[in-house]
Chains A and B, each alone.
Chain A
Amino acid sequence: MTSGGFIERLQTGLWEENPGLVQLLGLCPLLAVTTTFVNGLGLGVATLFVLTFSNALVSATRRWIRQEIRIPIYVLIIASLVTCIELVFKAWFPTLDRSLGIFIPLIVTNCAIVARAEIFASRNPIGASIADGIGMGAGFAMLLMGIGAFRELVGQASILSRLDMITGGEPFHGFSFADSGLLLAILPPGAFFSLAIAVALKNYIDQKRRNAGMQRSLRQSR
């Protein structure tokens, strides 16, 4: 894997190697918290933050870290960052923190983060590692938000409910379109269905693009 330019790194994380859609990493939080858009946004941003900083720190220290102790050091760095972000959430977004509950501390166990440290940050310069962290984190956050929005729309027939958990102020119950939705979407099976739809959609788009590319080259060769 090459380091590549910043834009390419972002593209890789957001689309080609999206941690949720392609690598299928970090599925536990992805499936558990995406009942609303706001929940997805909260956990997505927290993961993005941890991933970017852990990539930066792992990359910055990679010359001094011996192979034998790299895993304990990754765990140490990631756990400290997660503790920090948990404190920040408790201080500035207390309701969001309660809504996400155990899944904020559990970012430590998100294998997407340790995977990026091992695969990318420990072998690449700091700039590229930060770009990789932002790309992968944003890719994961986008997927969380997308699935959150989808499940909220289908399951509750509303969008942006509990936005007050981020902005503060009075409880906000979102823009509602109907009294009730298809409950299944909010229940755990709905998470699996939504992820399956998202993966299928991505593969469909990729296939379309490949076909279009192939036709174009065919036409050119004629």
Chain B
Amino acid sequence: MTDQTVIKTGMTLAVIAAICTALVAATYQLTEDRIAANEKALLEKSLQPALAGVFYDSSVSESRLVLQPPHDLPGNDAAIIYRVFSAEQPVAVLFVVTARDGFSGAIRILVGVGFDGTVTGVRILQHRETPGLGDKIDSTRSDWVFQFDGRSMGDPVVTAWGIKGDGGEFDQLTGASITPRAVIKAIRDTLIYFDAHRDEIFSLPATEETE
């Protein structure tokens, strides 16, 4: 190739790259708002199951609070807190925390806590527990996580927050005890954190979205 053809070839490549980039940019502009709305709707919908019986009128996803580690919540990665309001009065809090002591990998847990400290719902957001054994913590696999609804710190007392095999009050899973132990511990620690920091949680400003 002579110098001239090299330059020409490079130019062709540059022009096509520019056209392709313009195409993607235009599509992005066109779809940006819809995608953001979809993602927000999905988030609101995925948080709802942990707010059983709670009446609220606020947009949950807008009250997002991100706690960077180190914090006192379970897990050593960022914990997410959503504040839930009804007529501008705080009614509940949603915690997204991580249990690190599961059987395989981190378990991401969504814990809903009413303003009075009772659990309004628990859902497992992400896990890699053994299919057929530990994965029964998932609400699509069994009813196991529903047993925490309506419980609180004191019902049962802190020492009884464990599986029955350990002298606690909660059901275990056949063939898996490490997984439920980790989940119960995370819920317990979340409730302890809530009782200690309730007013602080509601008074902090929402964390800005950062890319």
Q: Does A pair with B?
A: yes
Find chain B residues with CB under 8 A from A61 CB.
16
Q: Quote the shortest CB–CB distance from A196 to chain B (angstroms).
A: 27
Q: Which of B12, B24, B38 contacts A69 (CB 8 A)?
A: B12
Q: Which of B5, B12, B31, B42 contacts A88 (CB 8 A)?
A: B31
Residues A84 and B24 in contact, CB atoms below 8 Å apart: yes
Interface centre among A65, A72, A76, A87 (most CB of B within 10 A): A87
Residues A65 and B12 in contact, CB atoms below 8 Å apart: yes
Find chain B residues with CB under 8 A from A77 CB.
16, 20
Q: Which of B5, B13, B31 contacts A87 (CB 8 A)?
A: B31
Residues B20 and A76 in contact, CB atoms below 8 Å apart: yes
Contact (A90, B38) CB under 8 Å given A66-B5, A84-B24, A84-B27 = yes
Chain B contact-residue range equals 20 to 34
A81–B17 Cα distance when bound, in Å, is 12
Contact (A64, B23) CB under 8 Å given A87-B28, A91-B31, A92-B34 = no
Asked whether A68 is an interface residue with its Cβ less than 8 Å from the other chain, the reply is yes
Find chain B residues with CB under 8 A from A87 CB.
24, 27-28, 30-31, 35
Asked whether B21 is an interface residue with its Cβ less than 8 Å from the other chain, the reply is yes
A66–B5 Cα distance when bound, in Å, is 9
Find chain B residues with CB under 8 A from A68 CB.
1, 9
Asked whether A73 is an interface residue with its Cβ less than 8 Å from the other chain, the reply is yes
Contact (A73, B31) CB under 8 Å given A68-B1, A83-B24, A84-B24 = no
SS class, residues of chain B in contact with chain A: helix
Contact (A91, B23) CB under 8 Å given A66-B5, A68-B9, A69-B9 = no
Within 8 A of A (CB), among B1-54: 1, 5, 8-9, 12-13, 16-17, 20-21, 23-24, 27-28, 30-31, 34-35, 38-39, 42
Within 8 A of B (CB), among A33-87: 61, 64-66, 68-69, 72-73, 76-77, 79-81, 83-84, 87
Summed over the interface, the residue pairs from A and B with CB atoms below 8 Å come to a total of 53
Find chain A residues with CB under 8 A from B8 CB.
66
A92–B34 Cα distance when bound, in Å, is 8
SS class, residues of chain A in contact with chain B: helix
Residues A72 and B13 in contact, CB atoms below 8 Å apart: yes
- Residue of B at shortest CB range from A53? B23
Residues A80 and B38 in contact, CB atoms below 8 Å apart: no
Find chain A residues with CB under 8 A from B38 CB.
90-91, 94
Q: Quote the shortest CB–CB distance from A104 to chain B (angstroms).
A: 13
Q: Quote the shortest CB–CB distance from A69 to chain B (angstroms).
A: 6
Interface centre among A72, A77, A90, A91 (most CB of B within 10 A): A91
Q: Mark B100-140, 1 if CB is under 8 A from A, else 0.
A: 00000000000000000000000000000000000000000
Find chain A residues with CB under 8 A from B20 CB.
76-77, 79-80
- Residue of B at shortest CB range from A85? B27
A87–B1 Cα distance when bound, in Å, is 39
Q: Quote the shortest CB–CB distance from B192 to chain A (angstroms).
A: 35
Contact (A90, B31) CB under 8 Å given A64-B12, A69-B13 = yes
Find chain A residues with CB under 8 A from B39 CB.
94
- Residue of A at shortest CB range from B33? A91
A141–B24 Cα distance when bound, in Å, is 24
- Residue of A at shortest CB range from B22? A80
Find chain A residues with CB under 8 A from B28 CB.
87
With contacts A87-B28, A94-B35 known, what are 6 further pairs, Cβ within 8 A? A73-B12, A76-B16, A83-B24, A87-B35, A90-B31, A90-B35
6 A-B pairs with the lowest CB-CB distances in the bound complex, closest first: A80-B20, A91-B31, A91-B34, A84-B27, A94-B38, A87-B31
